[in-house]
Amino acid sequence: MNYSDLHRIYHQPFFDLLKQARAVHEENWPEREVQLCTLLSIKTGGCSEDCGYCAQSSRYSTSVKAEKLMAKDDVMEKARAAKANGSTRFCMGAAWKGVRVGTQKFDQVLDIVRDVSTLGMEVCVTLGELGGDEARQLKEAGVTAYNHNLDTSREHYATVVTTHTYDDRLRTIRHAQEAGMSVCCGGILGLGEGVEDRLKMLEVMSSFNPHPESVPINTLMPIKGTPMQDNEAVDVFSLVRMIATTRIAIPKAKVRLSAGRYSLSKEAQALAYFAGANSIFYGDKLLTTANPGANEDMKLLQELGLIPQAPNPAMEAPQADGQRALSPCVPAEAEHAGCGCH
Ligand code: SAM
Ligand code: DTB
Ligand code: SF4
């Protein structure tokens, strides 16, 4: 969907937008289901990158202490507990610039993935940059989805991060797709961007072929010690508008109401569910910051007549549309120059 369509959709009167998003949601999804996902930081802090929002960057003095990669048995204990609590997706995050085949840390991650994938949950990892070989090995080990966010527009990205580029992000996403993993790709609201940046980011995501399987919408958790610690809070209606527009632009993606839920009222969360959010991080911790407690979330789902989504046994990645060039397109790369995306 192009920018002008997204702009028109986003800026219509609030209730018209909600009605449109709700109709798209009902056409594409069982309307009462919400997927529960558990996050675990398997390698925390000490990251070389300078993402201005992140508690785990070694460039900033935050309260997060660097830790080494967790032992497999400890990860398995958390994964079993997540499954017992009703989560159908287990997402493991590592604070790295990226991973390389042949390193001990990558072998350890593959070993963890092989074991977690025996539990019957969707297995998602977010490990930073991947090349083609890394992506193929992760897929073979049992990863079903790779999370790599665009976070904001290409134009705004350089004010948020300087140690890697937007094209680096797109390249990793392409490697994950080519290896047959589902792509989980979303963004953060509250990085000092404008609505235009949010919609430009969505334009890029909606140009992916295949579409992302899931789109996490995070709002900034302001982290003391980072350059964004004092950023202005995101307005609730802007968040709901963004969720609704995402639901319309990428109808078959799970739209995940992600970081920032801790400071949302019950009413705001209800609006976000109505607008098309159908997945959440479940459990009282995200990677390093707070999330609503599981009991509180279950109570809210019950109050709203929503139910946790059953496990998805196929876990297949979305199929590409044969009429369009495969993407994401990385404009700097010659082999994609004829794709028509730019
Ligand atoms: N290092 C990997 C990467 O950057 O892709 C994976 C981990 S990173 C923490 C995953 C995502 O978490 C980021 O892309 C960002 O969208 C989100 N995130 C990180 N810190 C956040 C914060 N303070 N508030 C909201 N979202 C945040
Ligand atoms: C995503 O988009 N949000 C999650 C997951 N993907 C890895 C991470 C949110 C992190 C929030 C900040 C923290 O806990 O450090
Ligand atoms: Fe944080 Fe990931 Fe950026 Fe590292 S690459 S600073 S973990 S967001």
pLDDT computed for residue 331 by the predictor: 74
Residue with CA nearest ligand 1 atom 23? 221
Is there a domain that residue 330 lies in? no
Q: Compute the distance between CA of residue 99 and CA of residue 106 in angstroms, rounded to an integer.
A: 6
Structural domain count, the chain: 1
Is there a domain that residue 212 lies in? yes
pLDDT computed for residue 337 by the predictor: 46
Query: For a substitution probing ligand 2, which of 287, 288, 289 has the most ligand atoms within 8 Å of its CB?
Result: 287
Is there a domain that residue 167 lies in? yes
Q: Compute the distance between CA of residue 321 and CA of residue 243 in angstroms, rounded to an integer.
A: 24
pLDDT computed for residue 339 by the predictor: 52
**126 touches ligand 3 (CB under 6 Å):** no
- Domain with 249 in it: 3-306
Is there a domain that residue 326 lies in? no
- Chain segment 282-310, per-residue pLDDT in tens: 999 999 999 999 999 999 999 999 999 98
**For residue 287, which ligand has an atom nearest its CA?**
2
Name the DSSP letter for residue 25.
H
Using the mean position of ligand 3's atoms as its centre, give its distance from the Cα of residue 183 in Å: 18
Query: For a substitution probing ligand 1, which of 124, 149, 286 has the most ligand atoms within 8 Å of its CB?
Result: 149
Query: For a substitution probing ligand 3, which of 39, 49, 258 has the most ligand atoms within 8 Å of its CB?
Result: 49
Listed residue (316, 286, 285, 280) closest to 300, CA to CA: 280
Find all residues with CB under 8 Å of 147, minimum gap 6, and list them. Answer: 91, 93, 124, 125, 126, 184, 185, 216
For the chain, count helices (H), then strands (E). Answer: 11, 10
**308 touches ligand 3 (CB under 6 Å):** no
Is there a domain that residue 331 lies in? no
Find all residues with CB under 8 Å of 46, minimum gap 6, and list them. Answer: 56, 58, 66, 67, 95
Joined tokens for residue 112: 């963890």
Is there a domain that residue 337 lies in? no
CB contact at 8 A, 315 and 143: no
Is there a domain that residue 235 lies in? yes
| pLDDT tens track, the chain, 342 positions | 999 999 999 999 999 999 999 999 999 999 999 999 999 999 999 999 999 999 999 999 999 999 999 999 999 999 999 999 999 999 999 999 999 999 999 999 999 999 999 999 999 999 999 999 999 999 999 999 999 999 999 999 999 999 999 999 999 999 999 999 999 999 999 999 999 999 999 999 999 999 999 999 999 999 999 999 999 999 999 999 999 999 999 999 999 999 999 999 999 999 999 999 999 999 999 999 999 999 999 999 999 999 999 887 667 778 888 777 777 878 766 455 445 454
Is there a domain that residue 342 lies in? no
Q: Tell the burial category of 334 from Cβ atoms under 10 Å away from its Cβ (0-12, 13-18, 19+).
A: exposed
Length of the chain: 342
CB contact at 8 A, 291 and 283: yes
Listed residue (58, 59, 33) closest to 45, CA to CA: 58
Give the active site residues. Answer: 47, 51, 54, 91, 124, 184, 256
Provide the whole-model pTM.
0.96
Q: Compute the distance between CA of residue 55 and CA of residue 15 in angstroms, rounded to an integer.
A: 36
Using the mean position of ligand 1's atoms as its centre, give its distance from the Cα of residue 260 in Å: 12
Q: Compute the distance between CA of residue 161 and CA of residue 169 in angstroms, rounded to an integer.
A: 11
Domain holding 197: CATH number?
3.20.20.70
Using the mean position of ligand 3's atoms as its centre, give its distance from the Cα of residue 266 in Å: 30
Q: Compute the distance between CA of residue 285 and CA of residue 267 in angstroms, rounded to an integer.
A: 21
pLDDT computed for residue 284 by the predictor: 92
Using the mean position of ligand 1's atoms as its centre, give its distance from the Cα of residue 112 in Å: 21
Q: Compute the distance between CA of residue 313 and CA of residue 309 in angstroms, rounded to an integer.
A: 12
CB neighbour burial string for 138-156, b if at least 16 within 10 angstroms, e if fewer: bbebbbbbbbbbbbbbbeb
pLDDT computed for residue 335 by the predictor: 52
